[in-house]
Amino acid sequence: MHLQSTKRLENGVEMPLFGLGVYKMTDRDETISSITKALQVGYRAIDTASLYFNEVEVGEAIRHSNVPREEIFVTTKVWNTDQGYDNTLRAFEASLKKLAMEYVDLYLTHWPVADKFVDTYRAIERLYDEKLIRVPGVSNHHSHHLEQIFTKANTAPAVNQVEMHPYLSQQDLRAFCAEHNIAVTAWSPLGRGGVLTDDTIQALAVKHGKTPAQIVLRWHLQHGIIVIPKSVKSHRIEENAQIFDFELSAQDMLTLDALNQNKRFGKDPDNFTFDI
């Protein structure tokens, strides 16, 4: 396993296991600089969303890099107020224009808006059928949301992006997704920094000569979870990627698994509002 290792999705597309999340990157120069740095380090996946208001900068940074577009896996998402079948198609067109790209690698429903998320996914399926996206997916979907999609979908979601970290290990949802060949991506893989002061994680960091963040990111990867840590700091972008020169033992993994508290730092998909 290395920085550009990939996970083969259900439809055969190879998705990088490691990428850069750009949530809350609102400063234009900072956003472009962060993406440029990540691509220079060797990242090959960028995760954005219409809500982040930085799709223009993502597209610009990628175009101005020396990395061919086809080597970069770009994810974006349809926001809650744009959901529904026709609205999703229009939202995608707007995102594609902002990115100034001919296609998006992965397009996700951002949250499962009641009475809309199934139709939203049907629109994502259409975009997939029209080859405007390479992978159809969702985010923040519980298993019962996925089951509702299954009743109408011809092509099941290939990816589910959810909050996951040692305090919220999502074991049941991960098992459900594995059963249905749905890859899991962790947003907030470090628990918005809230898990990094944990004594157990800090002790493992000392043991391996790594930072707490590196321990947690390695834990995700060894569970087969795709990670998209966010940072605008150059040294942190480099540091986050330096997790391929060590391995957590089976006991280390069990120790980290035992930290689960089912604690969320974000919203529960069954109880969220649009002002996230």
Please list the active-site residues. 52
Q: Which residues contact 221 (CB under 8 A, 6 or more apart)?
A: 1, 17, 18, 227, 243
The residue with tokens 């744009």 is: 82
For residue 14, give the DSSP letter. E
Q: How far apart are CA 271 and CA 232, in angstroms?
A: 30
> Is 22 in contact with 54 (CB distance < 8 Å)?
yes
Q: How far apart are CA 54 and CA 230, in angstroms?
A: 14
Neighbour tally for 197: CB within 10 Å: 9
Name residue 156's amino acid: A
Q: Return the percent helix, strand and coil in the chain, to nearest 5.
A: 45, 15, 40
